[in-house]
Structure 1
Amino acid sequence: MKTWTAIVASALVYGAVLWPGVLVAQNVAFVTMNRILEDSPQAAQAMRELEREFSPRDSQLVAEREELQKLRDRLEREGELMTANQRADLEREFTARSREFRRAQESFTEDLNVRRNEELAKLQRMINDAIIDLARERDIDLILTERNVLYSSERIDITDDIIAAMQRRR
């Protein structure tokens, strides 16, 4: 489906260039979405929010990983000196904690990915709104992104203007 959309969009753009009567775009502009995603204050705020939200769990995982390493080291260092029951108990503890650690780590990764996607979707909506507002304000007929564009001159690049608009929207 995306390929079909890209083909239609490309045909419309090329039609405007090759057959001026087919599609008349008076004002054309270009934006670099990746740069907007990286440089907008809202993107930085989203990253700070995710860090604030997930750093306590990340710290817990780091601490548990260190404790597991200590248990492993103890097993290797003292395992031969322990009784069979002591060694078996320590191995069971290590196995159970390792299993729990993997579950916690998987849960953390899944939760982080879900929240990152939520924040990205929210940010993309804000960027699209800023682009549409600027297009209407400047009477721009067509705005292209870096996808499927072979070349665009700096003269029509409004990426900096969109970033500035995003900064005003804080």
Structure 2
Amino acid sequence: MLVKTQLSRGLSVLAVLACLAAAPVAAQAQSFKAGFVNTDRILREAEPAKAAQTKLEAEFSKRDKELRDSAAALKSASDKFERDAPTMSESQRQARQRQLADQDRDLQRKNREFQEDLNARKNEELAQVLDKANRVVRQLAESENYDVILQEAVYVNPKHDITDKVLKAMNGNGAK
């Protein structure tokens, strides 16, 4: 019986020590503050992102219209060739086919260049918006004592989502 009592006391002491050891961890976990920012929403809803989109549309609209007009002209020429081909001589038909193929290659090249230029400019503008957003997030983290703010996550409890605060700061004061 004496062994049983000592064993029981030993287990009680171990249980108390385990609780004492866990107490600082629980207290530390309660003071840990985390947040989440939805980058996709920032890029869709922030005023600097909308301004960047408008700027890109203005910058590339003329070139886009020229490409669409060239594509329409090529289609019209191709349709005309299809209608006129039966009445053309073989050499005229081959010359016109080469001409249409050259125009098509030129249009495809211009389209590729346009897309590359547009993507490069879009990346530049988005990088600036993200830079502004990151500055706002850092300011918010420091002012509200966040330990960590994540931008990518599989799941986030909505109570940790601070995207609205970031959007309000970016839209309200121009993201300093």
TM range (shorter): 0.7 to 0.9
Name the structure where helix makes up a greater proportion of residues: 2
Contact 1:25 1:141 (8 Å CA) reproduced: no
C-alpha displacement at 1:149, in angstroms? 4.4
Q: Which residue of 1 aligns with 2:157?
A: 152
Give the structure 1 partner of residue 61 of structure 2.
55
Larger Rg: 2
**What is aligned with 1:141?**
147
Q: What SS does the aligned partner of 2:150 have?
A: strand
Q: CA deviation at 1:37?
A: 1.5
Residues 121-132 of structure 1: matches in 2 within 5 Å? 121-132=127-138
Q: Aligned in 2, Cα 1:36/1:75: closer, same or farther, shift over 3 Å?
A: same
Q: TM-score, normalised by structure 1?
A: 0.79
- Measured in 2, the distance between the counterparts of 1:80 and 1:30 equals 66
Q: List runs of 5+ in structure 2 lacking aligned partners.
A: 1-24
- The letter for the 2-side match of 1:127 is A
Residue 165 of structure 2 corresponds to: 161
Measured on the aligned residues, the alpha-carbon RMSD in Å equals 2.0
Paired residues, what number?
150
Instruction: Supply the distance in 1 between the matched residues of 2:38 and 2:125 (Cα, whole angstroms).
Output: 19
1:78 aligns to 2:90 (yes or no): no
List alignment gaps of at least 5 residues for structure 1: 1-18
Question: What residue identity is the alignment partner of 2:66?
Answer: Q
Runs (4+) of structure 1 exceeding 6 A deviation are: 21-24
Partner of 2:16: none
